[in-house]
Chains A and B, each alone.
Chain A
């Protein structure tokens, strides 16, 4: 590649971004180089994921596929590999923004792989992503995604637009399509607050994706992904109104997760014995994305459990 021929100085800074998948370490003449040329040559590139793809493609999540093969040469399924699977995520829009919550269970086949996994990630000041599906790839994808948002913000000096954030995530899921076809599907649920929208009741946004990177805006005010999502959605359909305030919405989110755990074996209910409660993040204009405190969630969960003791149907 052109940019590896020498160290680009001030005069060479304007060269186009190299699309080479080769790592940029070392110079073509075999001399040990600085190993950082690409960082200085990538003019106008604001995407961290694109930069990684061009310089260190082995770091991208989901890049190892060809799936591992079993004894008969057939690709192994995630179940046969024992890969942990994330389960239910819910998101609810309300009068002040949006709330996203997830249970704490990861399963591998019929086994609980982890009972306190965290599947909701605050990705920047006004967005959060919940993940269902192949946990390992999903977590790595969200790690890359968070850096992507921060990277853009630092280089540009302003945060990415909400639709920009939603589209970048779609692009990353599309990049995982090869792995998804092997069964290592990642299904994130995006929740964000549009800081350019003056009306807080309209600023909360929920976006869902399919494994090919298709992006779908959810305008009905609630959505869920993962194995327990059918039950969670029914619950939210009956309980939730977008005119609700934050406290009611938090309760509705936890009710929906309770209902999902009630009917789906892979979704973990609140574990009062070990004090493991769902992770809940609220995103509002003034406060941005905030993880609700353990005490607050414990309080709501205990009330829900007490109410369910009277009436198991809620």
Chain B
């Protein structure tokens, strides 16, 4: 007689969590923060084609870390849902709260029911009429959803970045200052892949930057790149970034990354 294969639910979910967490922490970090003019997205991303940050709707933007193919599926689904709702109701009826809840339901259900959880973590941001109306939601691999008032740090080694931002963040910053603040966080020693202990300098090519611009009517999302980005960067970041070994674009986590022995 064959014994049925059994593992406790508790153990099963813990294994999935570990897989997801490992996969996500392998990648490079993304910072989403509110500033006086709207919401700023700064991602460390060496690919110019595979984006981690994207527009979802008029006032809503999206950032993700983890496995590219998985969060790309989540991103397009978000655009479909938002466009469908805006088309059948009205554009004003598309809210980040609704969409974040939908994501949370979906990712949470996948975490419990599927063989393999999403190795992705996403942040949904909405820019309000005033800074008080800005909303940031973080949705993790297990469907947990949190509402962050100031900034969200995801992917890679997030603790040193969060600790740094706690000190330097100020909601009254303008775009240039906010970008400098985000970079201070992303460049903090220990934040890069491999947990190197030196501070890094991220140049224009290593960054993906976008804003939800409060003053723009209609579609508020705007990418910042090329000369405009260069002029906004702090002087130290305007040069070429130091070469880093093993740089892959967009999707830093290899397939089933969590299952592989950690290279850290």
Interface residues of A (CB under 8 A from B): 6-13, 34, 36, 39-40, 42-43, 48, 51-52, 55-56, 59, 143-144, 147, 150-151, 154-155, 157
Contacts and interface: CB of A to CB of B under 8 A. Distances in A.
Nearest to A12: B114
A201 to B, nearest CB: 28
Contacts of B73: 10, 13, 40, 43
Interface of B: 51, 54-56, 67, 69-70, 73-74, 76-81, 83-84, 86-88, 102, 105-106, 109-110, 113-119, 219
A39 B75 CA distance: 10
Contacts of B114: 7, 9-12
Given A59-B88, A147-B87, 17 more contacts: A6-B113, A7-B106, A7-B110, A8-B110, A9-B113, A9-B116, A10-B118, A11-B114, A13-B69, A13-B73, A34-B109, A36-B106, A39-B80, A42-B76, A52-B84, A147-B86, A154-B54
A155 B76 contact: yes
Contact of B80 (A7, A12, A34, A42): A42
A55 B116 contact: no
Contacts of B88: 56, 59
Contacts of B113: 6-7, 9
Contact of A151 (B51, B54, B79): B79
A154 B79 contact: yes
A11 B106 contact: no
A13 B75 CA distance: 12
Given A10-B118, A11-B116, A34-B106, A143 B87 contact: yes
Contacts of A51: 80, 84
Given A13-B73, A34-B109, A40-B77, A48 B51 contact: no
Contacts of A56: 84, 88
Label chain A's interface by main secondary structure: helix
Nearest to B115: A11
Contact of A147 (B67, B83, B109, B116): B83
A150 B216 CA distance: 17
Contacts of A36: 77, 81, 102, 106
Contacts of A151: 79-80, 83
A52 B115 contact: no
Contact of A39 (B56, B81, B105): B81
A83 B252 CA distance: 57
Most buried by A among B51, B88, B105, B114: B114
Contacts of B76: 42, 155
Most buried by A among B80, B106, B115: B80
B87 A52 contact: yes
A42 B75 CA distance: 12
A144 B56 contact: no
A123 to B, nearest CB: 13
A55 B54 CA distance: 24
A39 B79 CA distance: 9
B254 to A, nearest CB: 15
Per CB-CB distance, the 8 closest pairs between chain A and chain B, nearest first, are A9-B114, A9-B110, A39-B80, A13-B73, A40-B77, A39-B77, A7-B109, A39-B81
27 contacts: A7-B113, A9-B113, A9-B114, A9-B115, A10-B67, A10-B70, A10-B110, A10-B117, A10-B118, A13-B70, A13-B73, A34-B105, A39-B84, A40-B73, A42-B76, A48-B80, A48-B87, A52-B84, A59-B87, A59-B88, A143-B87, A147-B87, A150-B219, A154-B56, A154-B79, A155-B76, A155-B79
A34 B120 CA distance: 20
Contacts of A48: 80, 83-84, 87
A150 B83 contact: yes
A273 B52 CA distance: 54
A2 B138 CA distance: 31
B108 to A, nearest CB: 10
A4 to B, nearest CB: 14
A151 B117 CA distance: 28
